Amino acid sequence: MRRPIVIGNWKMNGSLESSRQLVLAIGEKAVDDCGADIGVCVPFVFIPEVSSLLDGSRVLVGSQNVADRPAGAYTGEVSAQMLKEFGCTLAIVGHSERRALYGESNELVAERFRQAVGEGLVPVLCVGETLDQRQQGKTFDIINAQLDAVLDTSGTEALDGVIVAYEPVWAIGSGMTATDEQAQEVHQYIRNRVAGRNQTIARALRIVYGGSVKPDNAARLFSMPDIDGGLIGGASLEADSFLSICCSV
Ligand code: PGA
């Protein structure tokens, strides 16, 4: 049985003070185990403070990216080891904003994934198609390329214990959520693709949905058989809406 997980992705939002208030509210109210694991992926600079405020709580801390190399002359990057040292257990890799706005290729994302796994972080590997790609019937080709780059670089066994987030690009921040059926179809496809290589890993793999998840649509999405929780952007910036989504599993 897969335990659901709901992860907040704060993106580039908030101040030190607003981050403190948000995690204190989340940490305080997340004492109830409503059946889901909970995580927050925060801007790099807030990680030390957020980690220390959440120390001893059940809320996991994560980054929104991770370097594709272990250490060295890579200006602007933050290594998996550094993230671990400051209390991260999760690391988003391949978010569509990184892919589209910062040109991150499938190969680069696969290297980032490899570094995260190598250091014992749990990568949250984001995959998903644009509206154009969906309309051209290319959704599964895109998912295959995004997934296979990681499988080919790190090997199928590296997917043991990681999280895959299906985030249709057209649903992110747009208020246009995928229907439960649209999301389920792709989640099932991802699981089957992994099952083609290793059934045990595929059965245990947590595949979460992201893209305009809100308190009023979360329960229906999360009730689908292959949807194991969510990656939440906008609605994770407010403690009550985030926790209401967490407890919609
Ligand atoms: P959204 O973002 O919930 O604001 O659509 C999701 C994401 O980008 O991870």
Q: Would you state the structure tokens that stand for residue 222, as one six-digit string? A: 């999360």
- Alpha-helical (H) ranges within 102-154 are 106-118, 131-135, 139-154
User: 111, 129, 167, 187: which one is catalytic?
Assistant: 167
Number of domains in the chain: 1
CB-based contacts of 89: which residues, under 8 Å, 6+ apart?
A: 39, 60, 61, 62, 121, 122
- CB of 166 within 6 A of ligand 1: the answer is no
Full-model pTM: 0.97
Whichever domain contains 125, its CATH number is: 3.20.20.70
- CB of 230 within 6 A of ligand 1: the answer is no
User: 95, 97, 104, 119: which one is catalytic?
Assistant: 95
Q: 72 CA to middle of ligand 1, Å?
A: 32
Instruction: Verify whether residue 157 is a known catalytic residue.
Output: no
- Among protein residues, the one whose CA lies closest to atom 2 of ligand 1: 233
Q: 16 CA to middle of ligand 1, Å?
A: 21
| Residue 126 near residue 95 (C-beta atoms within 8 A) | yes
Domain that holds residue 9: 5-246
Instruction: Note down pLDDT in tens along the chain; length 249 residues.
Output: 899 999 999 999 999 999 999 999 999 888 777 899 999 999 999 999 999 999 999 999 999 999 999 999 999 999 999 999 999 999 999 999 999 999 999 999 999 999 999 999 999 999 999 999 999 999 999 999 999 999 999 999 999 999 999 999 999 988 888 999 999 999 999 999 999 999 999 999 999 999 999 999 999 999 999 999 999 999 999 999 999 999 999
